[in-house]
Amino acid sequence: MAANPSFDIVSKVDRQEVDNAFNQAEKELSTRFDFRGTGTVVAKSGEAFTITSETEERAVAALDVFKEKLVKRNISLKSLDAGEPRQSGKTYKIDLKVVEGIESEKAKAISKKIRDEGPKGVQPQIQGDQLRVTGKKRDDLQVVIALLKQEDFGVALQFTNYR
């Protein structure tokens, strides 16, 4: 008989979709009337983004535009780590980071939830920045997925490698 059924719990982001959202936000900020003359810019450096504006309100509004574009491209806002607006000289900046992977504290919380409330015979294993869940029956794994979808762990979860 084959190995027990299993699936992986991961937190990944489609980088191409993030780039598309960035480009759309950049274009919208350059064409919208309420952003003209405010020096509002979204910049990308490596994997990080920075929003710069002359006023704090415009910087926050630009962040909302960027978030809106991410949501339209099916990127969870849980995977966006936005800092607080900070003053840098005469401008305000907001640093943004796209977070991938499940950090160990959250992985432990997810694992504990599965052990405490999941069906018997289902075993979670932490493997780096993801979890693998194995069980005797596929139905038990479906129950675990439903259980985790109800809970908010502060991280965008995807369920992959279901076999």
The span from the CA of 36 to the CA of 26, in Å, is 13
Residue 1 located in a structural domain: no
Instruction: Please compute the mean of the pLDDT values over residues 124-153 and round it to a whole number.
Output: 93
Domain coverage including residue 70 = 15-98
DSSP symbols for the chain: -PPPPEEEEE----HHHHHHHHHHHHHHHHH-GGGTTTT-EEEEETTEEEEEESSHHHHHHHHHHHHHHHHHTT--GGGEEE---EEETTEEEEEEEE--S--HHHHHHHHHHHHHHSPTT-EEEEETTEEEEE-S-HHHHHHHHHHHHHS--SS--EEE---
What CATH number is attached to the domain comprising 23? Answer: 3.30.70.990
Instruction: Please compute the mean of the pLDDT values over residues 147-158 and round it to a whole number.
Output: 92
Q: Are residues 110 and 40 in the same domain?
A: no
Structure tokens at 95: 């640093």
Whole-model pTM?
A: 0.85
Q: Are residues 38 and 71 in the same domain?
A: yes
Per-residue pLDDT tens over the stretch 87-126: 988 999 999 999 999 999 999 999 999 999 999 989 999 9
Structure tokens at 63: 């962040």
The count of domains in the chain is 2
Q: What percent of the chain has pLDDT over 70?
A: 99
